[in-house]
Amino acid sequence: MKKYKHFKGGIYEWVCNATLESDPSVQMVVYRSANGTIWTRPESVFFEEIEHEGQKIPRFALIESSDS
């Protein structure tokens, strides 16, 4: 299981990758918030660096991984 922290503070659990039906070249990340809400974002957006308070940081930073 992988957990990520959003730059605004929320903790999210990675669920899986998926393919966007309308454009199979777009890979999506499916993730779940602490309250159980399921979200999706293009993989390129999920893993992009953004500018926040004058610094480049990841939109989602890996905080825990129990993958083998």
On average, the pLDDT of the chain sits at 95
d(CA 65, CA 19): 23
Q: What pLDDT is attached to residue 66?
A: 84
Neighbours of 18 (CB within 10 A): 13
Quick one: residue 9, left, alpha or beta (phi over 0 = left, psi -120 to 50 = alpha)? Answer: left
d(CA 28, CA 19): 6
User: Domains of the chain (ranges plus CATH)?
Assistant: 2-65 (2.30.30.320)
Average confidence (pLDDT) over 16-40:
96
Residue 1 has pLDDT above 70, yes or no: yes
Average confidence (pLDDT) over 6-33:
97
Which residue in the block uniquely carries the two structure tokens 């890979």?
27
